[in-house]
Structure formats: C-alpha cells, structure tokens
Amino acid sequence: MRCLKCADAPCQKSCPTNLDIKSFITSIANKNYYGAAKMILSDNPLGLTCGMVCPTSDLCVGGCNLYATEEGPINIGGLQQFATEVFKAMNIPQIRNPSLPPLEDMPEAYQVKIALIGAGPASLSCASFLARLGYSNITIFEKQEYLGGLSTSEIPQFRLPYDVVNFEAELMKDLGVKISFGKGLAVDGMTLHSLKEDGYKAVFIGIGLPEPKRESIFQGLKMNQGFYTSKDFLPLVAMASKPGMCACHSPLPPIQGTVIVLGAGDTAFDCATSALRCGARRVFVVFRKGFTHIRAVPEEMELAKEEKCEFLPFLSPRKVVVKGGQIVAMEFVRTEQDSDGSWREDEDQVVRLKANVVISAFGSVLGDDKVREAMAPIKFNRWGLPEVDPETMQTSEPWVFAGGDVGGLANTTVESVNDGKQASWYMHRYIQSLYGVAVSTVPELPLFYTPIDLVDISVEMAGLKFPNPFGIASATPATSSSMIRRAFEAGWGFAVTKTFSLDKDIVTNVSPRIVRGTTSGPLYGPGQGSFLNIELISEKTAAYWCKSIAELKADFPNHVLIASIMCSYNREDWTELSKMAEVAGADALELNLSCPHGMGERGMGLACGQDPELVRNICRWVRQAVHIPFFAKLTPNVTDIVKIAMAAQEGGADGVTATNTVSGLMGLKADSTPWPAVGRGLRTTYGGMSGNAIRPIALHAVSAIARALPGFPILATGGIDSAEAGLQFLHSGASVLQVCSAIQNQDFTVIDDYCTGLKALLYLKSIEELEDWDGQSPATMRHQKGKPVPRIADLMGKKLPSFGPYLEQRKKIIAENKLKLKAQNMAAELPEKKHFVPKKPIPAIKDVIGKALQYIGTYGDLCNTEQVVALIDEEMCINCGKCYMTCNDSGYQAIQFDAATHLPTVSDSCTGCTLCLSVCPVIDCIRMVSRRTPYEPRRGLPLAVGPAR
C-alpha cells in the first residue's frame, strides 16, 4: 500500500527488463497475484529468479522515490518473488499468444530451425520470447545435464532453489521449446559451421564464462590440498544441496577450520556463506580495496555479516603456505590508495593469516581454445569475447547473436535476461528479413499468456453487451469526453458520463471540493480508503455532452456509453433531456436521483430520489419519452432503499444503480474550522463520501434490492477497488460495476488489474486442487516470517514463545529438527510436472450474479446452537497480547496471558465473538473452530422464565 504508483516511475526505468513495477504492485495490493505475475513474466520470463537474486538496491529499489522518506523504499524484489511464487503454486501452464494462428497455419518463416547454445538465463529468456512470437522449432543445447547455467551451479540453494529455475524452464517448454543436454560448442564436433550445415538459420550463444581466473600464486594447487576456485566450489555445493539438479547424491565439500575467500563480488559472498554451511568454523572475506569499493550488492554483504563472516579489506594475496601437502596459511601485502586515486601494494606491510581452505572468487573468462575455435568465424574483442552490438546483440556474423556473460555486457542475472529479450526481437527481424518481411526496429514483444486469459468476462444486461463488467462511474473520471476516450482506450467496458442538465439548471462548482477521507487514519498518497466531495454535476452543457456522445460512439461502437442526466421534478424537462441523449446515440440513460449535496437544495438529485412516488413518476415520464434502456441511480441516504428500487421498477426503469455517495461531514480541525473550507468565511456543507469505506453500505443496498427484486438489473457502485471487491458485488446481485475512487487513487490503468483479477478468480473456481484457496490467496501455512515452522510442543513437550531467550531455544530446536529431516527430505529428482486443469466448468459472469444471496437473510434465520470458539496457533503467535487486551476490556474475559512467556490461552468461557481474530496482526494465527460443548450464556442472574427458542 505504500507504493506511490508514480507517474513516470523511476523504478521501472531502473530495471534492465523494464518491468511495469507500479502495475504489478497495484495487483498485489488488490490480491490479484495472477495479474501481478502476468505483468512480471511478460517482461521477464525469469521473474521469480530475479525476484530472489536481483541486486534491487542498485536497480529498481535504488530508483524508488520513497528513498526520500523516513520509511524508505519499497521492497520490490520481495514483492516480485511473492507474486510469482503464488502463481507457481497455481500450477497453470503458459500458452501461445491467443491472437496467433494455429501452428500449422503459421508462415514458413516461423518454422525455421533456431539454436541456442547454453541453458542459462540469457538463453531461457531469448527462447521464451521467440516462442511467444510464434517460432516453433527452437532447440537449446546445454553441455551439462542440468539447465539454468550459473543460476543453478553457482547461486546457492538457500538463495535460489533449483525448483525455481525448473519452474521457469517448464513455462518455456510449455511453448514447445526443446532442450538437448550433453551438447554444446566443441562437444561432439558442434561448431557454428556445423549448425549452419544442419539448417539452423539463427543461433544465440549464451554459454556464460565457464573458466575461472587463476592467479599465478595458485598454480598447481588442488582441491585435496584445500584450494578451490568459485567455479569448483559452488557447483559442488549445488550438486549436493539442490534436489533435482542431478542424481549423483554427492556430499557437500568437506570444509573444516578456517576459510579464506578472496574477492569482493556477489560470487565471493556466496562462497563465504556456503562455506559456513559446509562446516567452516570461521570465514574471512579478503579483498584488495576498501568497503566502499565492494562490488557485491548490499543484500549479499549484509547476509554474510549476519552469518558472522569477517571482512578484511586492503589486502592483496602474495603467497599460499603449504605444509604436508595441505594449505595452512596465506600471506598478503597491504594495499594503499594514492592521492591520484591509483592503487599500489606496500611490500613492507605483510599480513599472514592461518587458514585450512582458500577459495578464489576473482571472476571468470572464456579460456577454452576449442570453444573459441568452434565460434569461428565470428570476431573477438580485446577481452577475448565475441564482438556484440549492444543494441541488437548481433555478432560479426549476422545470423549469430550472443548475450549474458559471454556477451561482455551483463553483470547480473537480470541483465542476462534482458540480453536474451533484446536479442529475441532482432533475431525475429533477421529471420523475417530472410523471407522478405519487414519488422519494426522498435521491439513489440508479446505478453505472457495462460488459460486464465481466455476466460470470457463479457456480460449482457438490459439488452446491452458489455465487453467486461467494469465501467467508470458518473463522477470525476468522466469529467470530459477526452477522459472517457482514454478510459475506453485503456480497456474499460463502459462509461457513464458526468451528470449533465438543461442549460437553465447549469452549475458552477466551488473550491476546494474533493478531499481525502479520514477513515484510514493518517494515510497520505494513493490507497485512500475514502474521499469526500462537495462537487456538483457537470459544468459542461447538454449540447457538449450530446456532441461528445455521438463522437465517442462513432469511435467506440462496441463500448457501452450511458448518459447521466438530472432535472428537477418536471415532466417536460425530463422528456426533453432524455430525448436529447437518446438522439445523440447514448446506449442507455442513468437518471441521477441521488446527488446528496447542492442539487437537492435546487429540487434535483436527492430531493427527487428520497420519495418513492417521485421516483416512480420520473421513471414513467422517461419511459414514455425514450426507447433505450435507463437506470435510476439511487441514494443510500434513505431508510429503505428497496422501496425506492421498487418504485423505479414500477415506473418502467430497466434497472437501478446502487448507490451514490453517503452524506457526511468528514472532519473538523482543532480550531473548529472544517475541511474542505470554502472562501474567507471557511464555510462547508455536508458532502458525499465515497470509496471502500462505504462498501458495506453499498453491498447492503445491492443485496437487499437483489433479494427483493430477483432478476432486476443492478449497476453497483461504492467501494469497488479491485476484482475481488467487484466479485463481492456480483455475488450480491449486481450485473455490472462502476468505479470512481479507485481511479482517483491511481489512474485508468487499473482496469488491466481488474480484468485479469476477475478472470483468475473465475478460472480458479474450476480447479479442484485449489479448493482450499480463498480467491487467489493460498491457505496460510504455519509460519514465522513466512518460513514454515514445526509445532515446538510436539518436539519438546512444551510451548515456547518467540522473543528473548525463548527465541534462541526455538532456533536451536528447529535447527536440530531440520537435521533429522534432512536425509529423508532430500530428493534426487523433482517430481514430474503435471499442470492443474479445470475439472469443473469455468463460471461465466452470469453464473456468479447473486450467488451469495442464498446466505443472506434476517437475524431470525441465524442458528444460535452451532457456536464457534477461538483457537490460537502458538507457533504463529508473536506474543503481542492484542487478543488478550480486546477480550479483557471489550469482550468476555476468555483469554489468559502468561506473564512470563506472553503466550495467550483461550478458556472454556469463550463465546466465539471473534474480536480477538479481528485485531490479531498475524493472518490466520487465530481461527474460529466449532465448539465441542453446549453453549450456555452467562446471564448474570438466574432467568425468571425460560428463554425463547
């Protein structure tokens, strides 16, 4: 919720793959995790990998505008990881772009043979985008028996599990990409020349830099003496700790005693933290320059520091001391920086460190001459790497492209992904040019698609066909014709114009008039829970709106455009204005009988909408005047809104809009003046409150009308700020949904989130394996800080809280339990991937309308014998005592709070009121479960007569 969704988001510009970060954070905030993952994977096919290992502090997080605030920037990488992990749990395949013709109907150019050498991030990215473009004969050649390249072999399991790499590769394989293991350049005679002879029209080289840089002082040293390069050590750790990477069951490298890691990059810190996990007693990270010159990202360095690695700057290695065939120490000289910025080594300052193991992490090179020969005839630069155009990723051979580490431009996983992404478009251009097809130089890469995107969310109501149920309400987002035009271009299914009147009733607004609500407390920026406005209807003339309607309908014939009109209680006025709107080409009318401020004083709006007789007559007048559908917009500021809806139906209305804003006074300052305050007199009036703060009122209105008038169309409005909120209104009986405050909080682009979110909610209803999910939210596992935890009471026979010395005990017990489980949980292979497929029909919008009405009724319909009680999960409890406090002072004194352990306990006197669950800060830490004993209310004094049943 803290994300500002900035207009020209610097986070997006700081991301090499140009992720639409503000949009995917919006989707996460709206619990549309599929929409967030779709946004991420559309730009970055390795979105989960990058969410876990990307150096965000140097990229997107480093660009976040919230860096200037006390709370600091958004944890973008963590949010990216979360969204893609939830999508991973959905277990849904990637599909081809639905707009592409079937494979057999694709042009010949899309069936050419394409080879990618190496299965690292650059190749996986490039192959994914080529397959999305429609190419069907793509093969990745990988010399190892596993995929993922450096992501698999050199990033430790605790940072990047192998099943994450496999998940992203499986998404790519869903599109038909083939992977051939045990094959690569210079393996079994494979060369660029042989690939060309085999008919490959384009090749992408993404082999990384497979050989380590070796300092001369390490010549002759071997692993059995205690010396490793990072290219030796990390793959050994990976093969021993990454289930599914290989079937070798190899042990971790036998690291004991003191370890020296040489280097200051990400790889060096991975070596350091991995050495600790392999058994090292102490680990020193030694580097030539100071802390300000460390190349590793701060996150890596902080992790090493937390794990008690020690850092030694300003030391350059001079000699490895070997005794009895084993490393026993290393000698270093001190480095100094001169005033001109150059570095020198001071031979007079010698440091000797005892050590049992030395790990060199000084980078990597392309040192295999056979591989270089296999790349002939491409040209190499002075660093011994292929010459690559940084824009097109093309080498000196037009049909050969390169990226990732071997391209010499990428230093991180995400940059390698972008190399592959960039290369895919220019490979597409090159291949199409072979067949005489011109392709734009500006990349237009296709998005990520799944079966969710095929769900139909169109809806028909009152004879009108809506492409989707989301539209802009008759409010600020519909202030002008150009705004409605932009809304339609963004994807909104319909729009209701700002309410307009006859010229004799034209208005002029005051200012200030639209203010943030106070219902969410001191929250500033987007995400406001409510707004209050004293804005009147449109200041523009009826002639302007009629002209605009005609123009909009000419340009957007498939979008529904509803004209919102308002008059006083005058038959001639309603007849004239409604006919004007119909002639202009409006698909339908909305009769504004509900504006709660200003207009009522003129005998319009609320003044007409609170009396059923007036509503009935106005609807009759309009019904006699026009043939198009019309809907009466109702006010919640009445005792019984159902009576007003019935009057509208009796008058001939085709439906109703429920509801307009709720009349209110938002707040007063300490000096008693109001806000908004108009003019020098600081006057105000009762305004209309909108936003999700009024959602319960709007849901009440919609469901009450739907229950009383089955099948009567309802256009819902009032707190619809997500697909999940929209589905609540559909379940309550609404047919289509109007949005205003959510757009005020952000902009028209939220429609993408709403549509993908609603499609996902409908699709997931058909997946039996996800029946325990709440919408797009998986069931909450027992956890602390998101990591699963066992029941301590089951392991040691008593409960332990999560603070102070108890926390240390918990950590020790959990660590011992992990060691016991390690052997039995270590699987050699990942389970075979089987996607979840719908086993039930995917519901359409019409199938969910009114689905919740069967659960809504009178209080007398509720059962007072089937009671529940609170159950607290002590493993998830953070010992804050909020449940105890609310139960003690606002409830039934049914929770005890242990003074020593701070563990709360629910007693038999629990009445199931649910206050404790409502204030608990940890999701699902408290659950309401069925009561096992009869509920006997505490009456205070004995009853004089028996209770009514």
CA distance 410 to 942: 80
Integer CA distances (angstroms), 928 to 882, 910, 921, in order: 16, 11, 16
What is the token pair recorded at 263?
């280097």
How buried is 488 (Cβ within 10 angstroms: 0-12 exposed, 13-18 middle, 19+ buried)?
A: buried
DSSP secondary structure of 41-64: HHH-TTHHHHHHH--GGGTHHHH-
- Strand 357-360 versus strand 138-142 pairing type: unpaired
Cα 592 from chain centre: 37
d(CA 758, CA 30): 11
Which of helix, strand or coil describes residue 189? coil
Q: How many Cα neighbours within 13 Å face the side chain of 226?
A: 24
What is the token pair recorded at 36?
A: 């967030």
Contact status, residue 355 vs residue 376, Cβ threshold 8 Å: no
Assess contact for 683 and 722: CB atoms under 8 A. Answer: no
Q: Residue 72 is encoded by which pair of tokens?
A: 């600091």
SS3 at position 207: coil
Report residue 440 as tokens. 């734009």
- Cα–Cα distances (Å) from 647 to 178, 620, 627, 654, 705, in that order, read 65, 10, 19, 12, 12
- Find, among 411, 431, 388, 419, the residue nearest to 45 by Cα: 419
Q: Is 38 exposed, middle or buried (0-12, 13-18, 19+ CB in 10 A)?
A: buried
- Show Cβ contacts of residue 733 under 8 Å, excluding neighbours closer than 6 positions: 702, 703, 705, 706, 707, 714, 849, 850, 853
- Residue matched to tokens 């090499």: 16
Q: At what angle do helices 413-434 and 121-133 cross, to 10 degrees?
A: 40
Single out the catalytic residue among 271, 595, 619, 887. 595
Residues 6+ apart with CB under 8 A from 234: 153, 154, 155, 156, 267, 270, 271, 274
Of 21, 70, 92, 23, give the one whose Cα is nearest residue 50. Answer: 21
For the question of residue 546 being annotated catalytic, the response is: no
Task: Show the tokens assigned to 696.
Answer: 């319960």
The tokens describing 527, both together, are 């995400």
> Which helix H or strand E contains 347, and what residues bound it?
strand 343-354
* Matching residue, tokens 């902009």: 747
200-228: b (≥16 Cβ within 10 Å) or e: bbbbbbbbbbbebbeeeebeebeeebbbb
Cis ω before 512 (30° cut-off from 0): yes
How far CA 26 is from CA of 20, 477, 727, 773, in Å, comes to 10, 19, 17, 21
| Total Cβ atoms within 10 A of residue 946 | 6
- DSSP H helical ranges for 524-665: 542-555, 571-584, 606-609, 612-625, 641-650
Strand partners of residue 532? 515, 689
| Active-site residue list | 595
